[in-house]
């Protein structure tokens, strides 16, 4: 705790420094991810609107515009979210990214949990909360909204990590009429992207397609990926429109597998023997479609809503071949109100979200990636409903009281069928329902320049997904819903050459769902810890040092640990390093070129196991990004990564107790160089 207190003092000093700093140089940066209440005249209107909306949140938020990452190699969410404070996004393989905010889903061996991932409000998660980030295409994202922790109430969620919502470009805000982009480089990577944006009268359309292939740095890492996007809109006047959005994906990726510490030290290029023998991979096709509307009902009231459907077909050869077809569908609606209460300025939102999913799952023996004999059949039906609302009342011109809550219910219905000749299978029908209420209170103070102070206290609840419930012939495993109370305080704003964002938080968790790896290729088992603590600091600072020069820094302190646990005492939780820092120095020349060296520093070793027996080593890697706007229509970039060819562990899975045979380490890529050209016309 003393280390955390010292970090708090340092963060407070940083806040005082940035608040006190006043300089003649008063530049703003369109690529900044920091949200402030002060408008940036350089922001595209669609990004400015998003920043203004999120600045009304009494808590930690970020907006990531396409301008912030378009001039570097950005293949997946780890690249796109790189500069967002408090977001731990590290690549394991291909498009499989470990994403955690404030320790959400920290124990998950695979995929996403504890954090809502969405595009245009349509969840990438299954209805039971399990999700994939692989279907997100950064090139088909106009901007992304990051709501950390309990600040995601606008989406009805009550998850520890919050929400990340990616917004598809429209024909009105894409910023071009036609675009062709080609990029690629090391390890055989080649990506082609074409897009068009049109507006005619009340109609607009955006359409795009992406093709991506590559060999990967490790063996058993090939990928062949296609994305498609269509967004058609019809305006009916000010703040009134209907929009039809379709996003599709075809993803084929091999999985190299995690390594033991000895294997990593001997040759981080190598792949796990079992992954090679089983030709392990993850191949999926999917379509997401939604019909959405924004409709102003009066001067004070606006409605936003959608109905959506998602189809996914998964072929996933790992220890067995998982053949799964899933259908998810739902609807959400939200009212935004702006007016007065008792003669004082006030605003609020309230709404509902319903979703349902029914994956049908078949497991087969893995014959070098091909289907062997059938081993199991199960049907996993999930339903969930949220009712939510939040309001602000300005008791003075500068200070607002904030209150809100969400009521949620989640149903799990599971059926398995005995397969003739397979003794481990059984007939089972099991169901379980979870219900909760998550209140939220907060304060938001804002001065005349747009600087803000905020504080809030939020309860989060996460029911287990089907993977965590691990059904047996007697029913579901006795895994409880995870609960937490999270308090946070912070400041954000713009003073002179500084744009800053600082948040301190502490979450007290009960029944945290943690996992441990059985083997490198068998899905992990889930257990409930008794009490755990997640606390930390999320800091970002953009500094316009001089005309055309900018330093961008993000620092995340993550202190996650057990609390008086019978088995693990006060041990630290594995996976997320305690200190993680990124910095970039950028020079933009008036003639149209830029250069930006950067540092990624995992400054502390990561624990591998809950018993705190062994750590994965920390690391520091150097990168160099440069670009040139040749003409108003043509731009080039080069992105060199890991310049010193450092062998490092990108991230790890969790084990109960480390041994020399524990294979949980995912190596990061070696030295690589990528480049690209974009033509807008």
DSSP 8-state code for residue 139:
G
The pTM for the full model equals 0.93
From the list 213, 318, 212, the residue with the least C-alpha distance to 255 is: 318
What is the rounded distance in angstroms from the CA atom of residue 96 to the CA atom of residue 111? 7
- The angle subtended at Cα 174 by Cα 170 and Cα 180, nearest 5°, is 120
What is the rounded distance in angstroms from the CA atom of residue 659 to the CA atom of residue 260? 9
Per DSSP (E only), the strands in 201-265 are: 203-214, 223-235, 240-254
By CB atoms closer than 10 A (0-12, 13-18, 19+), residue 335 is middle
Q: Phi first, then psi: what are they for 633, rounded to 5°?
A: -105, -20
CA 341 distance to own-chain centroid: 36
CA 607 distance to own-chain centroid: 22
Instruction: Give, for 11, the enclosing helix (H) or strand (E).
Output: helix 2-20
CB 488 within 8 A of CB 544: no
pLDDT of 29 reads 67
CB 361 within 8 A of CB 316: no
- The SS3 assignment for 656 reads coil
- DSSP per-residue codes, 291-317: EEEEEE-SSSEEEEEEEEEEEEEEEEE
Q: Sort strands 116-119 and 162-167 into parallel, antiparallel or unpaired.
A: parallel
What is the rounded distance in angstroms from the CA atom of residue 573 to the CA atom of residue 564? 13
Q: Sort strands 531-546 and 665-667 into parallel, antiparallel or unpaired.
A: unpaired
CB 182 within 8 A of CB 191: yes
pLDDT of 11 reads 43
What is the rounded distance in angstroms from the CA atom of residue 508 to the CA atom of residue 365? 42
Report CA torsion sign: 643, 586, 594, 207.
positive
What is the rounded distance in angstroms from the CA atom of residue 161 to the CA atom of residue 1? 22
Instruction: Give, for 498, the enclosing helix (H) or strand (E).
Output: strand 498-510
Q: Residue 547's CB: how many other CB atoms inside 10 A? A: 9
pLDDT of 161 reads 95
CB 233 within 8 A of CB 204: yes
Q: Residue 678's CB: how many other CB atoms inside 10 A? A: 21
Q: Which residues pair with 392 in a beta bridge?
A: 347, 402
What is the rounded distance in angstroms from the CA atom of residue 141 to the CA atom of residue 227? 12
- The SS3 assignment for 8 reads helix
* Positions in the chain short of pLDDT 50: 1, 3-27
> pLDDT per residue over 352-381, tens digit each?
999 999 999 999 999 999 999 999 999 999
Integer-rounded Cα Rg, in Å, for the chain is 24
Per DSSP (E only), the strands in 262-369 are: 281-296, 301-317, 320-341, 344-357, 360-367
Residues in the chain, how many? 681
Please, which residues have CB within 8 angstroms of residue 436's CB and are 6 or more apart in sequence? 158, 407, 408, 409, 461, 481, 483
- DSSP per-residue codes, 151-216: GGGGGT---SSEEEEEE---TTTSS-SEEEEEEEEGGGEEEEEEEEEEEETTEEEEEEEEEEEE--
CB 118 within 8 A of CB 145: no
Please, which residues have CB within 8 angstroms of residue 71's CB and are 6 or more apart in sequence? 594, 625, 627, 635, 637
CB 390 within 8 A of CB 154: yes
pLDDT of 512 reads 95
Q: Which two tokens mark 366?
A: 């893995």
CB 206 within 8 A of CB 258: no
């Amino acid at each position: 705790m003393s280390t955390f207190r010292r970090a708090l003092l340092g963060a407070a000093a940083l806040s005082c420094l940035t608040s006190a700093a006043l300089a003649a140089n008063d530049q703003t940066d369109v690529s900044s991810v920091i949200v402030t209440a002060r408008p940036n005249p350089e922001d595209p209107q669609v990004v400015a609107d998003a920043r203004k909306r999120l600045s009304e949140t009494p808590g930690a938020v970020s907006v990531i515009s396409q301008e912030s990452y378009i001039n570097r190699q950005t293949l997946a969410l780890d690249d796109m979210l790189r500069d967002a404070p408090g977001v731990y996004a590290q690549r394991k393989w291909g498009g499989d990214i470990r994403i955690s905010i404030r320790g959400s889903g920290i124990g998950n061996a695979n995929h996403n949990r504890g954090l809502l991932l969405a595009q245009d409000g349509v969840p990438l998660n299954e209805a039971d909360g399990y999700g994939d980030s692989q279907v997100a295409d950064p090139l088909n994202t106009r901007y992304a909204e990051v709501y950390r922790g309990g600040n995601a109430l606008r989406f009805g969620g009550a998850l520890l990590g919050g929400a990340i919502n990616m917004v598809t470009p429209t024909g009105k805000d894409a910023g071009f009429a036609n675009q062709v982009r080609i990029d690629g480089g090391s390890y055989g990577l080649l990506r082609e992207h074409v897009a068009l944006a049109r507006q005619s009268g009340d109609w607009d359309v955006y359409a795009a397609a992406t093709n991506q292939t590559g060999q990967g740095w490790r063996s058993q890492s090939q990928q062949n990926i296609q994305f498609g996007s269509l967004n058609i809109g019809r305006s009916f006047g000010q703040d009134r429109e209907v929009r039809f959005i379709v996003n599709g994906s075809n993803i084929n990726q091999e999985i190299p597998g995690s390594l033991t510490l000895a294997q990593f030290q001997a040759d981080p290029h190598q792949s796990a023997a079992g992954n090679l023998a089983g030709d392990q991979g993850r191949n999926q096709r999917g379509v997401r479609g939604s019909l959405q509307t924004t409709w102003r009902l009066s001067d004070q009231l606006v409605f936003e809503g959608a109905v959506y459907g998602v189809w996914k077909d998964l072929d996933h050869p790992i220890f067995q071949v998982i053949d799964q077809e899933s259908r998810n569908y739902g609807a959400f609606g939200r009212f935004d109100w702006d007016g007065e209460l008792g003669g004082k300025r006030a605003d609020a939102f309230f709404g509902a979200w319903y979703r349902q999913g029914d994956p049908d799952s078949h497991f087969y023996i893995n014959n070098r990636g091909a289907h062997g004999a059938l081993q199991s059949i199960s049907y996993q039906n999930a339903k969930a409903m949220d009712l939510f609302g939040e309001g602000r009342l300005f008791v003075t011109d500068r200070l607002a009281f904030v209150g809100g809550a969400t009521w949620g219910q989640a149903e799990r219905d599971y059926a398995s069928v005995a397969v003739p000749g397979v003794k481990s299978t059984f007939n089972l029908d099991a169901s379980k329902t979870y219900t909760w209420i998550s209140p939220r209170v907060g304060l938001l103070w804002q001065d005349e320049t747009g600087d803000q102070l905020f504080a809030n206290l939020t309860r989060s609840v996460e029911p287990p997904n089907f993977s965590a419930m691990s059904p047996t012939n007697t029913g579901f495993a006795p895994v409880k819903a995870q609960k937490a109370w999270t308090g946070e305080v912070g400041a954000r704003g713009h003073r002179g050459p500084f744009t800053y964002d600082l948040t301190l938080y502490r979450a007290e968790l009960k029944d945290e769902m943690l996992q441990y790896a059985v083997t490198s290729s068998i899905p992990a088992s889930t257990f409930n810890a008794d009490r755990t603590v997640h606390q930390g600091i999320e800091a970002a600072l953009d500094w316009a040092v001089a005309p055309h020069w900018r330093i961008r820094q993000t620092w995340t302190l993550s202190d996650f640990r057990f609390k008086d646990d019978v088995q693990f005492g006060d041990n630290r939780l594995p996976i997320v390093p305690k200190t993680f820092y990124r910095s970039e120095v950028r020079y933009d020349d008036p003639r149209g070129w830029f250069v930006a060296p950067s540092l990624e520093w995992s400054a502390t070793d990561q624990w591998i196991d809950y018993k705190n027996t062994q750590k994965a080593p920390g690391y520091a890697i150097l990168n160099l990004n440069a670009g040139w706007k040749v003409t108003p229509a043509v731009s080039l970039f080069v992105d060199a990564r890991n310049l010193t060819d450092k062998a490092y562990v990108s991230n790890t899975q969790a084990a109960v107790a480390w041994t020399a045979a524990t294979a949980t380490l995912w190596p990061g890529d070696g030295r690589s160089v990528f480049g690209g050209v974009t033509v807008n016309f």
